[in-house]
Structure 1
Amino acid sequence: MCGTEEEMREVAGRICRNYLHGAWKTVEPQALGFRRISRVARRSVLRSNSFTMDEPKKVLLRIYGQVHGERAMDAIVTESVIFTLLSERRLGPKLHGVFSGGRIEQYIPELSEPALSMKIAEKMAAIHSMDVPLSKEPTWLWKTMGKWTRTVREERLSENIHGKSVDFEKEVEWLKKFIATVESPVAFCHNDMQE
């Protein structure tokens, strides 16, 4: 979602009309309360003058932005599946809609309050103990580090870091051997609080 505020408002209004119910179905872009809360992750809070108790007055519109890389789309699909599971199990914000390029979530303005932080920590503990329908093979770390070491090699970044030569591939191999000696199970970890 880029461009002028008017263009963003138009796109946001169309998305909300398509995915939300009640007063959102007829909301005009000009009547939409619109506040961008993050430039990096493209999050916007939208507000409508809703009339019933069962529809949200405010929602968080999350736009993914451009997707790059060989596995970027897989990561977005996986994130959407995880978010949906957490929402259904009441371990995360309610999911109001998923669309190509983003999703509409429950807006929780109190996320930065200490009392809520404690509840979030409890939910995160529950999340990390979930058995989720994802691969249990510990491949993500090694694939990611492999990409990073290729980038370092291609960009010749390891040649001189503060006057020292670093062999990142050798460091990764050492780490693989070390982790193999530690008795630690592969577990699901959300790793992203988003706010």
Structure 2
Amino acid sequence: MSNYIHVPPGSPEVPKLDITVSEREGPGCRQGALQLLRRLRPHWRPEEVTLQLFTDGITNKLIGCYVGDITDDVVLVRIYGNKTELLVDRDEEVKSFRVLQAHGCAPQLYCTFNNGLCYEFMQGEALDPEHVCNPDIFRLIARQLAKIHTIHAHNGWIPKSNLWLKMGKYFSLIPTEFADEEVNKRFLSDVPSPQVLQEEMAWMKERLSNLGSPVVLCHNDLLCKNIIYNKKRGDVQFIDYEYSGYNYLAYDIGNHFNEFAGKN
């Protein structure tokens, strides 16, 4: 039994560059990105490179790099958020990325660096809740998800779900109190106690583990914004593999169905 991701033999190696890119916007961020581009796009002239902030989230900052007004070749630089390694196993994320790439389910991963990774930009638009309810689009999503779910574990190994392991890890990170008195008061009154949460998790594990849902390679975070729709090609691709791993097939489907509620 295993819940580890194994990269297929023969997959291209991904260089790891000893470069750190500043999280803060400004000269430091640009300088770090240009250092990466000297390795990835040596023919680009630094003064012609445009950096565009795509997202600035809790777990990462995403910057698109391209020359002039030409966006056919965009290098994405994703900078990990501070202390996000407590939530995300970055080594497993890269392995998931490489496995999905090997099966035509992810863009090209160009490199990793000290606090992030660089990869190919996928042309298209990120979906909104109203899009996923469109039959033409949700059929494309179903096909792409099925393609990922049929990726077999390495050497015929039988995987086990990492759901309970990750939930336990996240549970260990829950704070017990807050310095701000008002925030702490709300926390104690609105959030169930650790004992109640532990009991609820044990109840879920006992019942859900016995439903017989197959354990497959899952995306595990199929939010609307993680689905890129290319109308011209008539296909969808999934991005952001921070939480990818072996899990119950039904979880991946149910998690995505939450998007049909219309909450973004």
Interval of TM-score (by shorter of Structure 1 and Structure 2)? 0.7 to 0.9
Alpha-carbon offset, residue 117 of structure 1: 7.6
% same residue = 21
TM-score, normalised by the number of residues in structure 2? 0.57
Structure 1 portions without partners, runs of 5+? 50-55
Does residue 71 of structure 2 align to residue 47 of structure 1? no
Q: TM-score, normalised by structure 1?
A: 0.74
Q: Deviations over 1:144-188 (max 9, x none)?
A: 333454455844998643899971222122112212331222221
Q: Give, in whole Å, the separation in 2 of the partners of 1:166 and 1:153.
A: 13
- Are the equivalent residues in 1 in contact too, given 2:87–2:170 (CA < 8 A)? no
- What amino acid is aligned across from residue 48 of structure 2 in structure 1? A
Task: Could you tell me which runs of 5 or more consecutive residues in structure 2 were left unpaired when the two chains were aligned.
Answer: 1-21, 178-183, 227-238, 241-264
1:15 Cα offset (Å): 0.8
Between the two structures, name the one with larger relative contact order (CA 8 Å, sep ≥ 6): 2
Change (3 A) 1:39 1:70: closer
Shift of 1:45: 0.6
Match of 2:79 in 1: 63
Q: Is 2:111 the partner of 1:97? A: yes
CA deviation profile, 1:132-155 (whole Å, cap 9, x unmatched): 4498223x3223333454455844
1:32 deviation in Å? Answer: 1.0
Q: How far apart in 1 are the matches of 2:27 and 2:187?
A: 46
The structural deviation recorded for 1:71 is: 7.1
Note the C-alpha offset of 1:67: 3.3
Instruction: Return closer, same or farther for 1:45/1:135 CA change in 2, 3 Å cut-off.
Output: farther
User: Does the 8 Å contact 2:23/2:79 carry over to 1?
Assistant: no
Normalized per residue, the structure richer in strand is 2
Is 1:130 aligned with 2:151? yes
* 1:145 to 2:167 alignment: yes
User: Following superposition, which runs of at least 4 residues in structure 1 exceed 3 angstroms of deviation?
Assistant: 67-72, 113-121, 132-135, 147-166
1:184 aligned residue:
213
Count of residue pairs brought into register by the alignment = 184
Q: Which structure has the bigger radius of gyration?
A: 1
